[in-house]
Amino acid sequence: MAVNSVLPAHGDITGIMTVDGAVWRDQLTAAERAALGRGHGSIPDPRPDILVVGGGIMGVTTAAACAEAGLGSVLLIETGRLGTGATGGASGLLIPEPHRWSDPEPLVDLEQASLERWRELEQRLPGGLGLVDIDWIGLAPHPGGFAAHQPPAVEWLAPAQVERLVPNLARPMEGALIRHQARVNPLRAVARLAAGLPGVATGVAATAVTVRGGRLMTVTTSAGDITPGIVVFATGQPPVLDGLPLSIPSDRVKGHLLVTEAAPVRLPGIVAPVATQLEDGRLLAGGTFDVGDEDPAVQPDVIKSIMDGLVAALPAAKGLGIAYQWCCFRPRHPDRRPVIDRVPGLDNAWLTSGHFRTGILNAPATASVLARWISAGQPPAEPGTWSATRFSRLVG
């Protein structure tokens, strides 16, 4: 992708730039970019032991976990390039501890386990995944704003302490410090994991399935039929395929992000909700929740409001150009928890969907759960929490 031109911070921002406008691709090496388009349009093995449908972070980590578990031949198919969906547009923050303020306990447990798993993968894979250890500082919206529900790992900061850590804030604020969280370029992680996968076919869309006697027999794709032993659907939102008897309520929530030019300030990590500084000094800001906006285009007014918020909190950002701006959609179920389950009524098909705002974080632990379930017949500890049928009373 061509490097985005630097746009004036408050100038005319037009044009359609969805996830393709994200900063992440430009940070990759040529080999990593090539890995995102592996096996374009052709299916190397139409009879894999495991077929994973969907090449976002969930699909790639699941395919890697299945291969690691020795489940036989593994094939991953993806409609576009790997990371085309929400994965390629995410902020890439791996911050389970701050989620204690907002997420239910089983989800935080999954998130914590997943950060551990991210760290293991970082150590184990040759060259790692590009994980960066980073501290998180949350600025209280008002004094005492965090006091009610402190996670055990939090250090509460008085305004003077925040001022020492983040000297450029517009006004003194209390804050909460949580050390040793992490972040990752999500596309780099996908590319490096995919490079180690035995079978990848990009540019291949699943369109239909045939089912017989409680088993999924065939997956029809844009490049021909596949007859897998086992299928895992990791399609962001639940798969909608001809012949697949599945109806799980879900929607998606758009979010915008921007990256500035290199800033003349140094942030000590993630300063929420202000910005995260990237390696080259650029500031990553945003992560809006644009509920009801189904337009895939970047909305200039939303980008402007993110930039205005950044300047209001951090006056030194005034006048910085916007180097990248993009948006993407978070897949979501009504209770904001993911589905990690066997496809109801099918013996040899699983799915994971609706990872909403923590899918990058959740991916390695989710993949481990699925690989363990498939290999050892062992479902997750709290299967009801992630079940695909928990919504049945909603859909009646």
Ligand X SMILES: Cc1cc2nc3c(=O)[nH]c(=O)nc-3n(C[C@H](O)[C@H](O)[C@H](O)COP(=O)(O)OP(=O)(O)OC[C@H]3O[C@@H](n4cnc5c(N)ncnc54)[C@H](O)[C@@H]3O)c2cc1C
Degrees, nearest 5: CA angle 46-36-113: 90
**Distance in Å from the first CA to the final CA of the chain:** 46
Q: How many positions of this chain bind ligand X (CB under 6 A)?
A: 40
- Picking from 176, 189, 177, the residue whose alpha carbon sits closest to that of residue 134 is 177
Residue from 21, 39, 55, 380 in contact with ligand X (CB under 6 A): 55
The Cα–Cα gap between 11 and 322 comes to 10
Of positions 39, 54, 175, 238, contacts ligand X by CB under 6 A:
54
Three-class SS state of 315: helix
Binding-site member from 92, 130, 138, 269 for ligand X (CB under 6 A): 92
Contact between 370 and ligand X per CB under 6 A: no
**Which one of 32-40, 163-171, 308-316, 353-361 is the stretch in contact with ligand X (CB under 6 A)?**
353-361
Residues 6+ apart with CB under 8 A from 310: 260, 274, 275, 283, 285, 317
The pairing of strands 132-139 and 175-183 is antiparallel
**Min CB(69)–ligand X separation in Å:** 19
Least distance in angstroms from the C-beta of 212 to ligand X: 21
176 versus 285: smaller Cβ distance to ligand X:
285
By CB under 6 A, is residue 246 in contact with ligand X?
no
Cα–Cα–Cα angle for 112, 113, 119, rounded to 5 degrees: 95
- Tell me if 324 contacts ligand X by CB under 6 A: no
Interaction of residue 334 with ligand X, rule CB under 6 A: no
Establish if 78 lies at the interface with ligand X (CB under 6 A): yes
Give the binding range for ligand X (CB under 6 A) out of 65-73, 88-96, 150-158, 191-199: 88-96
Sheet holding 199-202, edge to edge: 199-202, 74-78, 50-53, 230-233, 349-353, 339-342
Residue 64 CB, nearest distance to ligand X (Å)? 13
Q: Is 21 in the site for ligand X (CB under 6 A)?
A: no
Which residues bind to ligand X, rule: CB under 6 A? 53-59, 77-80, 84-87, 89-93, 205-206, 234-236, 239, 255, 257, 287, 328-331, 355-361
